[in-house]
Amino acid sequence: GGKNIAVCPSNVHDYVRLYAEQRMLGSNAKVLQALRSGVLDVVPLSAFDNLTAEDFRLLLNGCGEVNVQQLTSYTSFNDETGGAGAEKLLKFKKWFWSIVEKMTSADRQDLVYFWTSSPALPASEEGFQPKPSVTVKPAHDHQLPTANTCISRLYIPLYSSRAILKSKLLLAIKTKTFGFV
């Protein structure tokens, strides 16, 4: 109730709190209770005892800022070039990471989204399942990178130059709908 109570300076805070609570929780109470029940079926209530709201947000959403060093430490490279040689692959990896380091924060998030279907890195290494990988494909300067988001795998042809790698990678991640192999 409350529809017959006039809002005045003495009860405006209560009104705003109750209104916000009704808008956010009241109309979704059954759905939220079912979600809570489902989570508690697999995670014991005691696991939440020392979590702050920020800790919980990080567990659910990951870190908004893509930490390149962290991503580098999680990522493995696979060679499917058909014998390009270790030296070319090492140069390619250096090009790749230097491009990622110089990307804007938004471009890094787009890259991670294109690669994994999540715009953020998990809060910890254990959150990445499977861990991200890059498969270097045979040289082909006219193909765009692709991704298999289910297994966090990025497929990139062994481009002939850093400039081509950068332009193709940025084009692919900006397309957004072009991510699945």
Q: Is the peptide bond before 9 cis (omega within 30 degrees of 0)?
A: no
The pTM for the full model equals 0.68
CB 178 within 8 A of CB 146: yes
Has residue 176 got a pLDDT over 80?
Answer: no
Cα separation, 81 vs 32, in Å, equals 49
> Which range is least confidently modeled, 18-27, 31-40, 69-78?
18-27
Tell me, yes or no, if 8 is annotated catalytic: no
Active-site residue identified among 150, 151, 163, 171: 150
Has residue 180 got a pLDDT over 60?
Answer: no
